[in-house]
Amino acid sequence: MVKVAISGILGRMGKTIAKLAYEDSNIEIVAGIESPDCAHTHDTVGEILNVDLDAPIVSDLSKVIDITDVVIEFSNSTEAALSHLRLLAADKNKKGMVIGTTGFNDEELKEIKELSKDIPVVLAPNMSIGVNLLFKLVEEAAKALKDKGYDIEVIEMHHRFKKDAPSGTAVKLVDILKKETGIENVVYGRNGEYPNGRPSDEIAVFALRGGDVVGDHTVIFAGLGERIELTHKAGSRDIFARGAIEAAKWIKDKPAGLYDMMDVLNLK
Ligand SMILES: NC(=O)C1=CN([C@@H]2O[C@H](COP(=O)(O)OP(=O)(O)OC[C@H]3O[C@@H](n4cnc5c(N)ncnc54)[C@H](OP(=O)(O)O)[C@@H]3O)[C@@H](O)[C@H]2O)C=CC1
Ligand SMILES: O=C(O)C1=N[C@H](C(=O)O)C[C@H](O)C1
């Protein structure tokens, strides 16, 4: 049995994870964590799910750290996620953390790497099986098409409420593409004059926002006379939530270190 505290419990992902975790006989939800600034609409996770579950909703992780094995972090705040990680890393019991929050800057990522020397951390901008397979397929395609005259464009679309752009998944796709192709120049959108047309040594990223789109990602490799498009479309947040729950089970009792969903899903 893995005892989890879910951070961002009142959010879209927090509620989805709580619903699926409650149905999982190997998981016990011991607490929900919300922002100290949020309107305190629920006292327990049971009230959110409309079930008999007395797990308290708190705004201070230190109040529930002793009863928690793993924190599942899906707040929309990178500062909140980092402050939770700092607390866990400093705790003598070395609990694990699964981080789904996106939008970390380079300095924050450096700190996550440093703190994960003390506790096991799964950090993944996308916890679905499909997207993690997409990462592999994109790596293969980029390897095969490197220096063969294919322009690379990345397009993502998400719901109108999303706070960060481009998505964490698109950032990871770009990291893979940069590594495999050696291209360093990344542009975000286009506007203006291009007298010499599209430079071959760039990767372009387009972040679309609108409506209730759960999350779409496409990588285009466009050559002269043909085009390959690798696309993943999420139809439900359950795919991310299931991944987060699997990661929480996987990370319990793992040695300290920084892991990703490729480790959890054995896709490496
Ligand atoms: N890795 C993955 O597979 C996926 C990652 N994500 C990422 O997860 C994050 C959350 O997404 P989503 O659920 O749609 O966002 P929501 O905005 O719906 O939910 C986030 C919740 O976090 C809360 N929050 C803010 N500050 C704190 C804090 N200090 N402690 C605890 N909770 C806090 C927010 O409260 P308030 O509203 O009051 O600010 C809100 O209730 C985003 O970064 C998103 O990109 C999303 C889907 C899949
Ligand atoms: O905010 C979201 O909704 C999502 N965020 C993640 C990201 O930024 O990549 C994953 C998913 O696409 C949904």
Q: Is the CB of 128 under 6 A from ligand 2?
A: no
- The catalytically annotated residue of 84, 158, 172, 232 is 158
**pLDDT > 90 in the chain, percent:** 96
**CA distances from residue 191 to 56, 88, 118, 157 in whole angstroms, order as listed:** 50, 45, 45, 19
Low-confidence ranges of the chain (pLDDT < 50): none
The beta strand positions in 46-198, using DSSP E, are 57-58, 70-73, 96-99, 120-123, 151-158, 185-188
Where along the chain do the CATH 3.40.50.720 domains lie? 2-127+237-264
Where along the chain do the CATH 3.30.360.10 domains lie? 129-234
Q: What is the pLDDT of residues 158-184, one digit of tens each?
A: 999 999 999 999 999 999 999 999 999
- The catalytically annotated residue of 95, 162, 172, 232 is 162
Q: What is the pLDDT of residues 41-59, one digit of tens each?
A: 889 999 999 999 999 999 9
Distance 98 CA to ligand 1 centre (A): 13
Question: Is 158 annotated in the active site?
Answer: yes
What pLDDT does 253 receive? 84
Among protein residues, the one with the nearest Cα to ligand 2's atom 12 is: 215
The CATH code that applies to domain 2-127+237-264 is 3.40.50.720
**CA distances from residue 80 to 59, 76, 136, 151, 267 in whole angstroms, order as listed:** 10, 8, 30, 38, 30
Q: Is 187 helix (H, G, I), strand (E, B) or coil?
A: strand
Domain 129-234 in CATH 3.20.20.70? The answer is no
Q: Is 139 helix (H, G, I), strand (E, B) or coil?
A: helix
Q: What is the pLDDT of residues 130-161, one digit of tens each?
A: 999 999 999 999 999 999 999 999 999 999 99
Among protein residues, the one with the nearest Cα to ligand 2's atom 5 is: 167
CA distance 230 to 130: 11
* ipTM attached to this prediction: 0.99
pTM value?
0.98
